[in-house]
């Protein structure tokens, strides 16, 4: 195989930016098929984006012998079920975050991927941009022993009919945005943290519209995440790490191709950097193709996804909220 043929489940709003546009910049990838439960919408989406094949069901796309890999941007509650079906059909999968509704589902997917020997990758696109590596290098090389790390992702989503506010679809601020902040503090600090406390603001009885959670890492460092879909923090997308020798602040670790600023204060000096590069989604798709076609490693593995989902579950437990994918109390 010298070219990866990808089919996309559904006509989600994220798909043009996350898959179709990047595929035009990654010659090894072709988006060849789309499936939509609404055939008319599927045909319209295909015509707009130059996709040759339209399937009238997700099952048909997964069974298509001319599709090598599946992109899964479905609602959170459908990530694990349809990724499992794609794996069973022998397809590689690029699955949108969060990987599943909860840790148990994520572990089931990871086990299936391991048994099948397929590439299954969680779409934390920011991890593939050079800024993510630069953040790690600064923390490891300049700050000394880490004392505190924090990350935030807050943006306004006042349309409360949005699926991200639906418990039955595994919605909530921690699932949709907080998963990034949790992933970021895990990226910067060594070892897996323990959730110390969590405080939620709710939209409805079981769905968080905002969350603040505190963590402790094995070496003693503390951590904090802030996330919201609707709160007083209308827009916040930064990270911070404090060590014995200095501090790093990062503005916009999520979409650094738009703008980013990394500031380091150490040794009585302040340094500011911008890390340039392509769009995060382009790096991500290139890494996915390299993993499938040449066996190159990826950083957002199923095992890492399980660890991230474990932290999400523990945040919900600490906040007194039911896990996604379970019956609400």
Res 320: pLDDT: 98
Q: Tell me phi and psi for residue 60, to 5 degrees.
A: -65, -40
Res 146: pLDDT: 98
Does 91 participate in catalysis according to the annotation? no
Alpha carbons 201 and 220: distance in angstroms, whole number: 28
69: left (phi over 0), alpha (psi -120 to 50) or beta: beta
pTM over 0.75: yes
> Which of 55, 79, 85, 97 is the catalytic position?
97
SS3 call for 47: helix
Contact 30, 91 (CB under 8 A): no
Local confidence pLDDT in tens for the 329 residues of the chain: 899 999 999 999 999 999 999 999 999 999 999 999 888 999 999 999 999 999 999 999 999 999 999 999 999 999 999 999 999 999 999 999 999 999 999 999 999 999 999 999 999 999 999 999 999 999 999 999 999 999 999 999 999 999 999 999 999 999 999 999 999 999 999 999 999 999 999 998 899 999 999 999 999 999 999 999 999 888 999 999 999 999 999 999 999 999 999 999 999 999 999 999 999 999 999 999 999 999 999 999 999 999 999 999 999 999 999 999 998 76
Res 26: pLDDT: 98
Give, in order, the Cα–Cα distances in Å from 213 to each of 11, 12, 42.
33, 30, 40
Tokens of 93: 């999968």
């Amino acid at each position: 195989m010298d070219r990866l043929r990808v089919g996309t489940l559904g006509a989600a709003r994220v798909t043009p930016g996350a898959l179709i546009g990047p595929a035009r910049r990654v010659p090894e990838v072709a988006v060849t098929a789309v499936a939509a439960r609404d055939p008319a919408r599927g045909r319209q989406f295909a015509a707009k984006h130059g996709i040759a094949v339209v399937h009238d069901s997700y099952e048909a796309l997964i069974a298509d012998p001319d599709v090598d890999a599946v992109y899964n941007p479905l609602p959170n509650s459908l990530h694990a079920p349809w990724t499992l079906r794609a794996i069973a059909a022998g397809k590689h999968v690029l699955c949108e975050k969060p990987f599943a509704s909860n840790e148990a589902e994520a572990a089931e997917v990871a086990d299936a991927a391991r048994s099948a020997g397929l590439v299954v990758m969680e779409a934390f696109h920011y991890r593939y941009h050079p800024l993510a590596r630069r953040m790690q290098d600064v923390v490891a090389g300049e700050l000394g022993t880490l004392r505190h790390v924090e990350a935030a992702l807050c943006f306004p989503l006042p349309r409360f009919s949005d699926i991200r506010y639906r418990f039955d679809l595994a919605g909530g601020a921690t699932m949709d945005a907080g998963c990034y902040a949790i992933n970021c503090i895990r990226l910067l600090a060594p070892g897996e943290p323990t959730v110390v406390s969590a405080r939620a603001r709710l939209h409805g009885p079981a769905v968080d519209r905002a969350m603040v959670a505190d963590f402790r890492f094995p070496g003693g460092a503390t951590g904090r995440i802030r996330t919201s879909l609707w709160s007083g923090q209308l827009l916040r997308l930064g990270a911070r790490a404090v060590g014995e020798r200095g501090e790093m602040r990062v503005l916009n670790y999520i979409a650094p191709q738009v703008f980013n600023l990394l500031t380091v204060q150490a040794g009585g000096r302040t340094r500011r950097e911008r890390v340039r590069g392509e769009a995060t989604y382009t790096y991500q798709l290139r890494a996915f193709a390299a993993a499938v076609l040449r066996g190159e490693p990826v950083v957002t593995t199923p095992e890492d996804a399980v660890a991230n989902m474990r932290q999400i579950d523990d945040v919900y437990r600490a906040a007194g909220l039911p896990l996604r994918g379970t019956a609400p109390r």
